[in-house]
Structure 1
Amino acid sequence: MSIQHELEDFLDYLGTARRLSPHTLSAYRNDLSGFITFCEQQSLNSVDAADSAHIRYFIGQRRSASAAAVSIQRLLSALRSLYRFRMRHRDAKQNPAIGISAPKRPKRLPKTLDVDMIKQLLEFDGDDIIDIRDRAMMELFYSSGLRLAELATLNVGDLDLNDALVTVTGKGNKTRTLPIGRVAIAALREWLKIRDSLAADQALFLGQRGGRLGHRAIQQRIRYRAIQQGLPAHVHPHMLRHSFASHLLESSSDLRGVQELLGHANLSTTQVYTHLDFQHLAQVYDKAHPRATRKASNEQD
């Protein structure tokens, strides 16, 4: 088996046995293709011939090329997965990527829109088909905290508007059922009245040609609506999800409940929103407490 075929063998395993999404498989391929090229340049006839020194050298090359810390972390994770597979299923003797640390990435809090900005974004004028579709799509994003991929793959049958529920398939092909708010239900009902006349496709949100609306098109529509409403051009679908989580946490302080709604496997992933919540409380404190802020000129030694 050639070294390129070893990569294809691993990707085939991820797609069939692990049932990873095409998007995730593409990310693995992109990350590992560079390593396969590196191995060929080092005259290694198999990935199993690489040792820890090779891995460190390869990672060093990526760092010298100014690869971001998050990219190197993801690359090392892909390499460890590759070698775990080789050891379990192809009789490899070692995992040379174990014990190699990646640079720490800077902690960045997710960007959100406050309640007033969400209101400004979602309450746009227009009653054309595209307006009705965009309104339903964006209301559902914010109402249920969906990921972009989750919304893009929704079918009409995934909605139960009588019980105000939507069933989505998230990461790892895990499904969860989420509540839909009153405003989103009204917007979806209006959209469903007209979408059936556009195509027989089961996709919930359709493009102008009658096919399923893709990821890029959804991103562009939200960006367009943000600019139309006088908001920053960098508004994106995940910002609606972040805003959903932050606003729920501000109101309820139920971290585990928000974790379930977001579909996070680990509570630590959800805990980032506690920092956002604290920022909000700190701003309230600064504005409301009589001794929260004092000008330096008023202070006495």
Structure 2
Amino acid sequence: MDIQTISQKFCEYSASIRGYSPHTIRRYTTSVSFFSRNTGIAELSQVTDENVRAFFYGGRTERNWSVNTYIVYRKSLLVFFRWCVKQGYMERNPIIDIEIPKREKRIPPKLTKQDALKLLELVYHYPYEYSFLRYRNHAIFSTFIFAGLRKSELLGLKYADVDVDNLTIFIRQGKGNKDRIVPISHTLAQSLKRYIEQRKRLGKTNPEFFSSLRGNIGFTQNGLKKLVEQMREASRLPFTVHKLRHTFATLMLEGGCDIFSLSKMMGHSDIKTTTIYLAASAEHLRAQMTKHPLNDM
């Protein structure tokens, strides 16, 4: 049976029954297509342990995959072939015996406190053509830095999800299809309030919290990409949206936030994921050293 046809059936099942997000579905589709294209496999019956192993070995040696890229392809194909076995299309899953390289332990990249303040200052005072953009863009970057939202979570925010009076943001179906509530500071609330006033002034009624300048529609992924590129160039700070999320986590720890609370705010399924930020926070670690009982000798 044609592997692309089966892949389409798998994705339809994953979306309608498993409830996977469009982003996850795209990852499965891309991974299966890439595997088929690079191995020359068109039919599922052509898949063998040998050509699967050659695919992953070639990825590391010829395409210079990082460990993370390797793991993403392995995980995606593992789930796909597992479903194929369950449906009776294959006898066994050829990914099971594929080894996982040791993941590099790297400190998450982040902005310093001074650079984060510099970025927020620049976003607010940038020479925009329309005042609406000043307040919306400042609210966007403030939400990343003061609440640590993922890009998809920010773009998916609904107007009803943001409660500035009670200082909360409700995240609907974040990563892993989990809802969560993120508390917000008064500083972030002030930025959001200024944006809401501008939104009302322009008569924006779209359900998405962050609106595009033109049209009564939500801010788009492409629009956010262009905004980040614009501010990266203007500030000369090498940041990404995910780096701003890392910045939030690190600054929270340096401010004294406990790891359990931070894990809940970040929406991590496993607290071990949150502990990587402990290594990134030199100030937090330095503060812990002051607790040594012999320091007063």
TM-score range, shorter chain: 0.7 to 0.9
Specify every segment of 5 or more residues in structure 1 that has no aligned partner in the other structure, as ranges: 286-301
Question: Does structure 1 residue 86 correspond to structure 2 residue 91?
Answer: no
Letter in 2 for 1:143: F
Structure with greater Cα Rg: 1
Q: Which residue of 2 aligns with 1:130?
A: 133
Q: Which residue of 2 aligns with 1:50?
A: 47
Question: Does structure 1 residue 270 correspond to structure 2 residue 274?
Answer: yes
- SS of 1:61's equivalent in the other structure is helix
Q: Which residue of 2 aligns with 1:290?
A: none
Question: Does structure 1 residue 181 correspond to structure 2 residue 185?
Answer: yes
Question: Does structure 1 residue 214 correspond to structure 2 residue 220?
Answer: yes
Question: Does structure 1 residue 246 correspond to structure 2 residue 246?
Answer: no
Of stretches 166-175 and 273-282 in structure 1, the one that deviates more from structure 2 is 273-282
For residues 38-89 of structure 1, the C-alpha deviation after alignment (integer angstroms, 9 at most, x for no partner) is 56x35x6325x52322211222333323333322221111111012112223
Specify every segment of 5 or more residues in structure 2 that has no aligned partner in the other structure, as ranges: 290-297
CA distance in structure 2 between the aligned counterparts of 1:280 and 1:249, rounded to whole angstroms:
6
1:1-301 alignment, distance < 5 Å: 1-37=1-37, 41=40, 45-46=43-44, 49-63=46-60, 64-90=62-88, 92-123=90-121, 124-125=124-125, 128-169=131-172, 170-196=174-200, 197-210=202-215, 211-228=217-234, 230-232=235-237, 234-252=238-256, 254-278=258-282, 281=285
Q: 8 Å contact 2:147–2:184 — kept in the other structure?
A: yes
Change in CA separation of 1:117 and 1:45 when aligned onto 2, cut-off 3 Å: closer
TM-score scaled by structure 2? 0.85
Change in CA separation of 1:253 and 1:168 when aligned onto 2, cut-off 3 Å: closer
Change in CA separation of 1:90 and 1:12 when aligned onto 2, cut-off 3 Å: farther
CA distance in structure 1 between the aligned counterparts of 2:63 and 2:240, rounded to whole angstroms:
29
Q: 8 Å contact 1:121–1:231 — kept in the other structure?
A: no
Letter in 1 for 2:189: I
Change in CA separation of 1:109 and 1:90 when aligned onto 2, cut-off 3 Å: same
Of stretches 64-73 and 264-273 in structure 1, the one that deviates more from structure 2 is 64-73
Q: What displacement does 1:118 show? A: 1.6
Q: Which residue of 2 aligns with 1:295?
A: none
Of stretches 29-38 and 61-70 in structure 1, the one that deviates more from structure 2 is 61-70
CA distance in structure 1 between the aligned counterparts of 2:110 and 2:157, rounded to whole angstroms:
24
Computed over aligned residues only, the root mean square deviation of the Cα atoms, in angstroms, reads 2.4
Change in CA separation of 1:91 and 1:219 when aligned onto 2, cut-off 3 Å: closer
State the percentage of identical aligned residues: 26
Q: 8 Å contact 1:11–1:25 — kept in the other structure?
A: yes
CA distance in structure 2 between the aligned counterparts of 1:251 and 1:56, rounded to whole angstroms:
47
- SS of 1:252's equivalent in the other structure is coil
Q: 8 Å contact 2:158–2:209 — kept in the other structure?
A: yes
Change in CA separation of 1:216 and 1:284 when aligned onto 2, cut-off 3 Å: farther
Q: Which residue of 2 aligns with 1:289?
A: none
Letter in 2 for 1:218: L
Q: What displacement does 1:147 show? A: 0.4
CA distance in structure 2 between the aligned counterparts of 1:35 and 1:225, rounded to whole angstroms:
37
CA distance in structure 2 between the aligned counterparts of 1:247 and 1:189, rounded to whole angstroms:
23
